[in-house]
Amino acid sequence: AMVLDYLQTTDSQDENLLASATDLLDRGYKRLTTFETPQKGYEWFGKAPAHEGLTAFGLMQFTDMKRVGGNVDPEMINRTAKWIMSTKDGKGGFTRNTKALHNFGSISEDIMNGYIVYALADAGYTNIKREAVASFNTAIQTNDPYQLAMSASAMYDLRDEGKANQALKALL
């Protein structure tokens, strides 16, 4: 997706390269969809339970593919986001399935929550205000560059320029 975006942005005239990149994008998309679980989240092997972080990563991949003209099923994107939204904990974060077969690098709850907010905001989903504010507050408190960057990006996507600028200023 990144290569195809670059080729399109630079107005590449290399039709063979564009065709090859488009073909790889389509094949990658078809392969990625095979990891969808019966519950509509995503997991390393497509088996339940789904993994919240991998599902957020998948949502970002599918969104990027769609942006560069990939033939991405919008219903699949919506059900992926819906599954992630179903994991909201009601306190500004997302629950994590403790029976998952992996731990996504043993990242903290705060970073996972920030990443999920970032992925949903990037994909255009806005029903995450509580989660975005909680993630923003954590990023400001910890002054962690990764969390600040994700929060700034999410807040810009959510049209909260005040918080986005504050996170960006703290990051810089």
The residue type of 156 is: Y
Query: Using 50, 70 and 90 to split pLDDT, how confident is the model at 49?
Result: confident
What mean pLDDT comes out for the span 139-166? Answer: 98
Number of alpha carbons in the 13 Å side-chain half-sphere of residue 147: 21
Q: Tokens 């993630």 appear where?
A: 135
The two three-digit tokens of residue 139, written as one number: 């990023």
Residue 32, Cα to own-chain centre: how many angstroms? 14
Q: DSSP character for 82?
A: H
Using the predicted structure, report yes or no on whether residue 104 has a pLDDT greater than 80: no
Using the predicted structure, report yes or no on whether residue 102 has a pLDDT greater than 60: no
Measured distance CA(105)–CA(127) in Å, rounded = 27
- What is the biggest distance separating any 2 CA atoms in the chain, rounded to whole angstroms? 50
Q: DSSP character for 135?
A: H
Please state, for a pLDDT cut of 90, what percent of the chain lies above it.
75
According to the model, what pLDDT value does residue 143 have?
97
Q: What is the pLDDT of residues 114-130, one digit of tens each?
A: 999 999 999 999 999 99
The residue length of the chain stands at 172
Q: Is the whole model's pTM more than 0.85, yes or no?
A: yes
The two three-digit tokens of residue 4, written as one number: 């195809």
Q: What is the pLDDT of residues 60-72, one digit of tens each?
A: 999 999 999 989 9
According to the model, what pLDDT value does residue 97 have?
76
According to the model, what pLDDT value does residue 68 have?
92
Q: Are 18 and 61 spatial neighbours (Cβ–Cβ below 8 Å)?
A: no
**Residue 26: burial class (beta carbons within 10 Å; 0-12, 13-18, 19+):** middle
Average pLDDT across the chain, whole number: 92
Measured distance CA(55)–CA(80) in Å, rounded = 7
Cα 66 to Cα 22, 60, 84: the distances in Å are 11, 10, 19
